[in-house]
Structure 1
Amino acid sequence: MAKKHPQKPANLIAQNKKAGHDYSILETFEAGLVLTGTEIKSVRKGKINLRDGFARVRNGEAYLENVHISPYEQGNQFNHDPLRNRKLLLHRKEIDKLVGITKNKGITIVPLKVYLKHGFAKVLIGVGQGKHEYDKRETLKRKEQDREMARVLKNR
């Protein structure tokens, strides 16, 4: 059961705008991130890139892969690898649901947003189905039409 999430979290750190363009998001989940000390400091500074990231379930655990968190500037030899796989904290039922959904072809798990909630880093992951090129053009056309209508209504 997916929970309702706020549209714009108060402490939004990073957002993956390309995910909405490339995928039709079917369902969203909020997950905690397991981070090291220097990683959370970099995340709080906004030094995170979600663009090429994805999530994968392995051995009953969910991992966030290919998400770049820049090394902390004041860190020393304890700095982290920028592209390491990070564990996602989800309930067992949510992980089982993700496994069942992603067995279908063309379905992937993408990170949508990273934000702070009560001092902890959370990631909003979405189950997405890849769009075809003509779907992307249609979405852009619809957005342009909505903008044009809003502009006309504003000037009335």
Structure 2
Amino acid sequence: MSNTIDEEDSSASIEEPRLWRDNGWTARVIKNDDDDGWAVEMTMHGEPEPALVGPWTMGRDKKNPKPLDKAAFITLVKTASEVVRRHEQHLHALLHKRVEVNTATGRINVTLDIVPDDDDPHAVLSATDSDGEQQARLRVPATFKLNAASAAAWIDGGYRRPG
């Protein structure tokens, strides 16, 4: 039977010196390719790549890694979760832009939602009034730059396709 993480039941807890699994995460102590030391990788269950890879402490014999324990695992889960959260926030900020424009008829919220499709990258530009009523929605190139000036020009132009 193969001993890879992917093929095992990812819901089963494991508490071994170099492998811990619990609460949706797997910590694995690995040989550090950059030097003679050790590293630990934290992988969220279901993800193909580790969310975090960092140095790991040598054991007392200065050859083998220090064994994983509950306190270290909890700290690693907290750190890796924070890395994932920051990555998600950054990605959201890159793909979703929002600008408010004051007009004679009231405030208009303009949003740009980028769809990073490999075959058909594009964005959706939309406008809603202060009551949440959609004023316009159209597909634009993923390279469209949303800022206060471009939003105001779109509104002033009657929501026609930006040129």
Does the alignment reach a TM-score above 0.5?
no
Bigger Rg over Cα = 2
Q: Which fold has the larger relative contact order, with Cα–Cα distance below 8 Å and residues 6 or more apart in sequence? A: 1
- When normalised by structure 2's length, the TM-score is 0.20
Higher helix share: 1
